[in-house]
Chains A and B, each alone.
Chain A
Amino acid sequence: QVQLQESGPGLVKPSQTLSLTCTVTGGSISSGGYYWSWIRQYPGKGLEWIGYIHYSGSTYYNPSLKSRVTISVDTSKNQLSLKLTSVTAADTAVYYCARGVGHVDATYNYWGQGTLVTVSS
């Protein structure tokens, strides 16, 4: 059974960089052709796709975040990471990592439990 677990600071100061890691167990992050994804959920409950990385290394980002986001994988540690620069209060959300199946018709069949990141001084 694939499991995903997010980790990282719960509080980030405005203008700094948000960095999160997602550890994948029960399966290799470099096999299967999956799209390893980051999705966030605002306090008001809306979900927003941040982006994903294919095991081949190709990345796809939400255009609204593209200039600030980097998603990468560390296959040796079976981990996925997210870096979001120049954060503001608007980036306060629960951040989920998820495994996507497919690109154009991606479905997310495994999710981490989510980690709340608050941007505040």
Chain B
Amino acid sequence: QSVLTQPPSVSGAPGQRVTISCTGSSSNIGAGYDVHWYQQLPGTAPKLLIYGNSNRPSGVPDRFSGSKSATSASLAISGLQAEDEADYYCQSYDSSLSGSVFGGGTKLTVL
């Protein structure tokens, strides 16, 4: 059971916009800690996609955006492309764990 809750799957047609939610609690996202997002393509390691709630590392397309409010965060992907099909994970810090926590992951299917 993951500390952060994500939907198991989302889907969308090419060109559409999808969002993936990440719900936490008062000891992690609700306490004000940043949320980060990772993309994991099949057979590869996770790759940092969004850091500090809404910042993109160099090389990440601006089709990817992140936001945070209260005890939850969201990743939005606009202009869906076939290459976006992957697993997406949110991550934050938890004060009761004194360490990092992850969401259970969301599988994005591009129809």
Chain A positions within 8 Å of B, measured between CB atoms, are 37, 39, 45-49, 51-52, 60-63, 96, 100, 104-109, 111-114
Could you say which of A49, A51, A111, A114 contacts B101, with CB atoms under 8 Å apart? A49
Contacts of B104 in A (CB 8 A): 45-46
Tell me which residues across on chain A come within 8 A of B57, comparing CB atoms: 109
Expressed in whole angstroms, the minimum distance between the Cβ of A78 and any Cβ of chain B is 19
Q: B98 contacts which chain A residues (CB < 8 A)? A: 60, 63
Q: Count how many chain B residues have C-beta atoms less than 8 Å from C-beta atoms of the other chain.
A: 25
Closest 3 CB pairs of A and B: A111-B45, A49-B100, A47-B102
A47→B105 contact, CB < 8 A: yes
**The stretch of B47-55, B65-73, B75-83 that contacts the partner chain:** B47-55
Q: In the assembled complex, which residues on chain B have CB atoms less than 8 Å from the CB atom of A106?
A: 93, 100
Residues of B86-107 contacting chain A, CB below 8 A: 87, 89, 91, 93, 97-102, 104-105
Per-residue CB contact flags for chain B residues 40-65 toward chain A (1 = under 8 Å, else 0) read 00001111100110000100000000
A111 touches B93 (CB 8 A): no
User: Quick check: is B85 within 8 A (CB to CB) of the other chain?
Assistant: no
